[in-house]
Amino acid sequence: MLGSKTAKFEALAKAYSAEIYRYAYWLTRDRFTAEDLVQETFSRAWTNWDSLRVEDSAKSWLYTILRHEHARLFERKRLDIVDDVDLDTLEDRRLRGVSPDLAIREALHALPTVYREPLLLQVLGGFSCEEIAEMMGTTAGAVMTRLSRARLALRRTIAAAGPRESAR
């Protein structure tokens, strides 16, 4: 019985480890943190292997574990909170101006997390709106709205960056 469990888990790990790492990297933007997240994800998956009811849903189960592990990174972190700032308007400017070839990556990183996360789950993970909604604890309609807004924001950001890039 244990041999069968181990073999199934090893097959699962081989099948999804690259995808899980890619998503972890997109979440953290740090290779070492992503590797730690993947390791912790598979560790928790092994510990809770018996709770997986349908093996066909193992991929989304792993992504959900990864999202929870990523959230745990920030559980104890205390951040200074400014009440008068709309969080949806904040953008990540760490990668600005690195290279014209990185316009799409910059645009993705500039998206608010609430829009970036479902977009990456759909594009990198290949999940449907219903699967993303289940993982994020929201409705499929909310996911579709966030995906539409994410794509619109990407188009606007890339269109706005286009003339500046060609002027160089």
For the chain, the domains span 13-72, 92-162
With 70 as the cut, is the pLDDT of residue 167 above it? no
Q: Give start and end residues of each alpha helix (H) in 48-139.
A: 58-72, 103-110, 113-123, 129-136
- Cβ atoms of residues 43 and 83 within 8 Å: no
Extract the tokens encoding 57: 């849903």
* Domain covering 92-162, topology: Arc Repressor Mutant, subunit A (1.10.10)
The span from the CA of 43 to the CA of 35, in Å, is 12
- Cβ atoms of residues 147 and 154 within 8 Å: no
pLDDT tens-digit series, residues 96-149: 555 555 677 777 888 888 898 899 889 888 888 999 999 889 999 999 999 999
- Cβ atoms of residues 157 and 110 within 8 Å: yes
pLDDT at 144: 93
pLDDT at 142: 93
The distance from CA 71 to its chain's CA centroid, rounded to whole angstroms, is: 11
Question: Model's pTM, two decimal places?
Answer: 0.55
The span from the CA of 49 to the CA of 51, in Å, is 5
The span from the CA of 35 to the CA of 27, in Å, is 12
